[in-house]
A and B are shown apart, each in its own frame.
Chain A
Amino acid sequence: MAALQRVASSLSASASSYGSCKGAGADLMFSDQFPAGLRVLVVDDDITCLRLLEKMLCRCLYNVTTCSQATAALKLLRERKGCFDVVLSDVHMPDMDGFKLLELVGLEMDLPVIMMSADGRTSAVMRGIRHGACDYLIKPIREEELKNIWQHVIRKKWNENKEQEHSGSFEDNDYKRGNDDTENASSVNEGAEGVLKGQKKRNIAKEEDDNELEIDDPSASKKPRVVWSVELHQQFVSAVNQLGIDKAVPKRILELMNVPGLTRENVASHLQKFRLYLKRLSGVAQQGGISNTFCAPLDSNVKVNPLGRFDIQALAASSQIPPQTLAALHAELFGRPTGSLVTTVDQPALLQASMQGPKCIPVEHAVAFGQPLVKCQSNISKHFPRNVISVEDVASGFGAWSSNSVCTVGSSSNLGGMNSQNSNMLMDILQQQPPQQSSLSEPSRSINVQPSCLVVPSQSPATFQAGNSPASVDQNCSYNRSAMIDYNLLSAQSNNSSLNIGQILNGDLKTTGVSGYSGSVSISPLSPCSVDPDNTSQQGRSSTMAIRAVRQLPGLGPNISNFQGSYSAKSSEVLDQRPLRNLGFVAKCTSIPSRLAVDELESTMSSLDHEKSYMEISGNKVKQEPNIEFMDNARVGIPTLQQLPPAPSDRMSVFTE
């Protein structure tokens, strides 16, 4: 454990250099009793959890300090630098967002921060990771999970030590944040201390201005990880276009981009992925298969894009476009300040957009997920012609890019993040379709590009989260969520390219449509105008739901109140009978997740009240919505409720004894 001792000595040296703190524990820390004595700061506004955690951490023999306010915690950390080894913080706190605390602690004190939350949805966890949390614990937290938090402390120290050893590879931004503690103590770089401190300041300033690069470990053994934010990628793309896609070599791209800290290797790997992506686009654009009937009903609705790009797109759709043209289109789209949505949408998505014709969505993967967008497109085209392209194409771009990027996710680029970005955008887009009846909703959400390189819709990400909520709501829940969870993971991580495309959006559709958890798009299975007499059948199929989504989207706005619960159970036969059929919907994805999602909602809802009142809850417009379905599906909730004993008598029974 020589390395451990080295870390220990550096740590205790640093502790002693801050004499005022009760750093005596630091010496203990790496002694034989390790990890006993680890100094933990817990921040949570929920006193119950705070008390629980305190007790559990004490049981792990850690040295615990608790704080119920983030501001107080920050103050404590600043006053007593070096007195803590790790911080545990809740995500949602009234005085300060947990992620903000995370960033500040990381910047100022460079301590490992572990986030906690009751919200275990994938999107929430993803946010935590993107903000740089060492770990993300989901409440309820068990003692065993806390026993292991010392690993984050060690890991961080070791990585920092490695950085110092490779002092020759210091470059300005190779330090994520300066490591004052270990720098002071380390004997390796005494001369370089001043330089390092300077670097740290510059680094922080850089991070505040332009937080594009997060490089964890610049040591020669590992490639630094670069986060390709939207801005960075835009710069990359414009550089590529300037050079011409065929002539674009990493070295020249790097020069053109002129981003300090970016290495040729980063650019090279990103370029490789970009090329693969373009190839995929051009390949995909060729695939035929959509029936004409699919296109037909849309033709009348689709207005010609006044921008006149449709010609190119039609061409693009029908024949293979050489990468240069793609890149050119990309640049064109990129260059034009169309709706805010378009410009901020991820580039690959835009590129994809440029590929696709407005009408038939000839890209077949769009069959599966283009459908909800098809109708939307028609609506949007009336109002937001520009958004037409981006709407459908974020979806397909999302699918294509994420699947493409996923294949190469093994390397260091942070493409997983793009998935969430894309899906966020997708949700955003789905939200944006204005209801036919009502007036235009906001034309687009501006997507804020936050310094941490996460593209987040300006509206609360609840939409995306909501979309995922069926999946990740409850690990403890008796309903089997795993299929849904896996499905979402699948959509983010699958290695199947074309298959994935269909699945991704469908999955997302499901999540948004099915359970109605999604605040943004709740998809009603029935047309608001007509009653579906076939509504009684029970088999839930996600494809059905997708179709319904298509149908209903025109009627939906961002604030859907006509949440229909029974859409869970619709058979594919019902589907076929519907006029939607001419959409040529092909893909039938697994229905399990959707059914499960609905199950949860239904069972909880049914436990809320009897069936009829459920209608009141949904406040839907279609009164004839049969309720049997979700009762049948709500297997789990009801028994629980039924076990509820008659209230007064039972409670009194013990006392009367």
Chain B
Amino acid sequence: MLGWGVDRLRADMSRLLAILFHQGVLDEQFLQLQQLQDESSPNFVSEVVNIYFHESEKLLRNLRGLLLDREFSDYKKMGIHLNQFMGSSSSIGAKRVRNVCVAFRAASEQNNRAGCLRALELLEHEYCYLKNKLHELFQMEQQRVLAAGVRYPLHQQL
């Protein structure tokens, strides 16, 4: 029964969110983000998060490009990218990503290239994890909406 699926999906979503909070992947800023979603912008969260993904991937590409360049020396530029990454990550509540950015920034401020490379790897790893989890969440949400929508006409028929 599809109606039953809605509740199950909702439970799954809550569970996933709880895990993510527990792991420190997300923090309460994400809750704020969720609260901003209302009737006037029903897809606000996924909209913003998708923007975030889009921008972050650009940033990560830039960072990787900078670091892999053998003649790389522009730590300042890297710092700027990092700053932006930090800002957007913290604004959506991506706590772990943000923390790695902090360490990354520290390494870049010492002009520590090896440290930066490591930090970049970790950053990419954390980012991927976050992205996957959030995608899961959105998929579940979509399914839930669908399931709820399907249920509705059934009720009407009753």
B103 contacts which chain A residues (CB < 8 A)? 601, 604-605, 607-608
- Check if B118 sits within 8 Å of A608, measured CB to CB: yes
Given the complex of chains A and B, what is the CA–CA distance between A559 and B75 in angstroms? 12
B110: which of A117, A561, A616 is its contact (CB, 8 Å)?
A: A561
A48: which of B51, B112, B114 is its contact (CB, 8 Å)?
A: B51
Given the complex of chains A and B, what is the CA–CA distance between A142 and B44 in angstroms? 16
A55 beta carbon closer than 8 Å to chain B: yes
B33 contacts which chain A residues (CB < 8 A)? 52
- Check if B41 sits within 8 Å of A654, measured CB to CB: no
14 example contacts (A-B, Cβ-Cβ < 8 A) are as follows A48-B51, A48-B92, A117-B87, A139-B90, A140-B92, A469-B109, A476-B29, A517-B109, A522-B110, A607-B99, A608-B103, A618-B112, A619-B114, A651-B133
How many whole Å from A83's CB to the nearest CB in chain B? 24
A201 beta carbon closer than 8 Å to chain B: no
- Check if B96 sits within 8 Å of A640, measured CB to CB: yes
A617-B114 contact given A139-B91, A476-B90, A654-B136, CB 8 Å threshold = yes
A52-B99 contact given A619-B112, A654-B12, A654-B16, CB 8 Å threshold = no
- Check if B109 sits within 8 Å of A466, measured CB to CB: yes
A275 beta carbon closer than 8 Å to chain B: no
Given the complex of chains A and B, what is the CA–CA distance between A357 and B103 in angstroms? 41
- Check if B110 sits within 8 Å of A517, measured CB to CB: yes
B96 contacts which chain A residues (CB < 8 A)? 640
- Check if A644 sits within 8 Å of B23, measured CB to CB: yes
A617: which of B27, B112, B129 is its contact (CB, 8 Å)?
A: B112
A92: which of B84, B111, B112 is its contact (CB, 8 Å)?
A: B84
B97 beta carbon closer than 8 Å to chain A: no
Given the complex of chains A and B, what is the CA–CA distance between A139 and B95 in angstroms? 12
Q: State the total of A-B contacts with C-beta under 8 angstroms.
A: 156
How many whole Å from B94's CB to the nearest CB in chain A? 10
A609 beta carbon closer than 8 Å to chain B: yes
Q: Which of A56, A139, A140, A619 has the most CB of B within 10 A?
A: A140
Given the complex of chains A and B, what is the CA–CA distance between A654 and B135 in angstroms? 11
- Check if A52 sits within 8 Å of B36, measured CB to CB: yes
A79 contacts which chain B residues (CB < 8 A)? none
Given the complex of chains A and B, what is the CA–CA distance between A522 and B110 in angstroms? 8
A319 beta carbon closer than 8 Å to chain B: no
B129 contacts which chain A residues (CB < 8 A)? 644, 647
Interface residues on A, range: 35 or more
B106 beta carbon closer than 8 Å to chain A: yes
Residues of B within 8 A of A (CB): 12, 16, 22-24, 27, 29, 32-33, 36, 41, 44, 47-48, 51-52, 55, 75-76, 79-80, 83-84, 86-88, 90-93, 95-96, 98-100, 102-103, 105-107, 109-112, 114-115, 118-119, 122, 129, 132-133, 136, 140
Q: Which 10 A-B pairs give the minimum distances between C-beta atoms? A: A118-B87, A604-B103, A48-B88, A519-B109, A617-B115, A118-B86, A140-B90, A48-B52, A139-B87, A140-B91
A604-B55 contact given A48-B48, A142-B32, CB 8 Å threshold = no
Given the complex of chains A and B, what is the CA–CA distance between A92 and B110 in angstroms? 20
- Check if B106 sits within 8 Å of A601, measured CB to CB: yes
Residues of A within 8 A of B (CB): 45-49, 51-52, 55-56, 59, 90, 92, 94, 117-119, 139-143, 460, 462, 466, 469, 473-474, 476-478, 515-519, 522, 559-561, 563, 600-601, 604-605, 607-609, 613, 616-619, 640, 643-645, 647, 651, 654-655
Known: A48-B92, A476-B29, A640-B24. 7 other contacts (CB 8 A): A51-B47, A56-B36, A140-B32, A460-B76, A469-B105, A517-B106, A618-B112
- Check if B83 sits within 8 Å of A118, measured CB to CB: yes
A55: which of B41, B55, B115 is its contact (CB, 8 Å)?
A: B41
- Check if B122 sits within 8 Å of A607, measured CB to CB: yes
- Check if A469 sits within 8 Å of B106, measured CB to CB: yes
Given the complex of chains A and B, what is the CA–CA distance between A324 and B126 in angstroms? 63
A462-B109 contact given A51-B48, A92-B84, A604-B99, CB 8 Å threshold = yes
A59: which of B36, B84, B107 is its contact (CB, 8 Å)?
A: B36
A56 contacts which chain B residues (CB < 8 A)? 36
How many whole Å from A34's CB to the nearest CB in chain B? 22
How many whole Å from A141's CB to the nearest CB in chain B? 7
A94 contacts which chain B residues (CB < 8 A)? 80
How many whole Å from A438's CB to the nearest CB in chain B? 15
Given the complex of chains A and B, what is the CA–CA distance between A563 and B51 in angstroms? 37
- Check if A618 sits within 8 Å of B115, measured CB to CB: yes
- Check if B106 sits within 8 Å of A477, measured CB to CB: no
Given the complex of chains A and B, what is the CA–CA distance between A651 and B44 in angstroms? 25
- Check if B111 sits within 8 Å of A559, measured CB to CB: yes
- Check if B110 sits within 8 Å of A516, measured CB to CB: yes
A563 contacts which chain B residues (CB < 8 A)? 110, 112, 115
- Check if A55 sits within 8 Å of B36, measured CB to CB: yes
Given the complex of chains A and B, what is the CA–CA distance between A588 and B38 in angstroms? 55
Q: Which of B102, B109, B119 has the most CB of A within 10 A?
A: B109
- Check if A473 sits within 8 Å of B119, measured CB to CB: no
How many whole Å from A428's CB to the nearest CB in chain B? 15
A473-B91 contact given A47-B55, A119-B83, A616-B114, CB 8 Å threshold = no
A561 contacts which chain B residues (CB < 8 A)? 110-112
Nearest A residue (CB) for B96:
A640
Given the complex of chains A and B, what is the CA–CA distance between A560 and B106 in angstroms? 13
A118 contacts which chain B residues (CB < 8 A)? 83-84, 86-87, 90
A460 contacts which chain B residues (CB < 8 A)? 76
Given the complex of chains A and B, what is the CA–CA distance between A604 and B86 in angstroms? 15
- Check if A477 sits within 8 Å of B99, measured CB to CB: yes
Nearest B residue (CB) for A609:
B118
A47 contacts which chain B residues (CB < 8 A)? 51, 55
How many whole Å from A513's CB to the nearest CB in chain B? 12
B88 contacts which chain A residues (CB < 8 A)? 46, 48-49
How many whole Å from B144's CB to the nearest CB in chain A? 13
Q: Which of A117, A118, A605, A608 has the most CB of B within 10 A?
A: A118
Given the complex of chains A and B, what is the CA–CA distance between A534 and B64 in angstroms? 40
How many whole Å from A521's CB to the nearest CB in chain B? 10
- Check if A617 sits within 8 Å of B91, measured CB to CB: no
How many whole Å from B138's CB to the nearest CB in chain A? 12
A560 contacts which chain B residues (CB < 8 A)? 110
A46-B84 contact given A52-B48, A609-B118, A618-B115, CB 8 Å threshold = yes
- Check if B109 sits within 8 Å of A518, measured CB to CB: yes
B109 contacts which chain A residues (CB < 8 A)? 462, 466, 469, 517-519
A48-B83 contact given A55-B44, A605-B103, CB 8 Å threshold = no
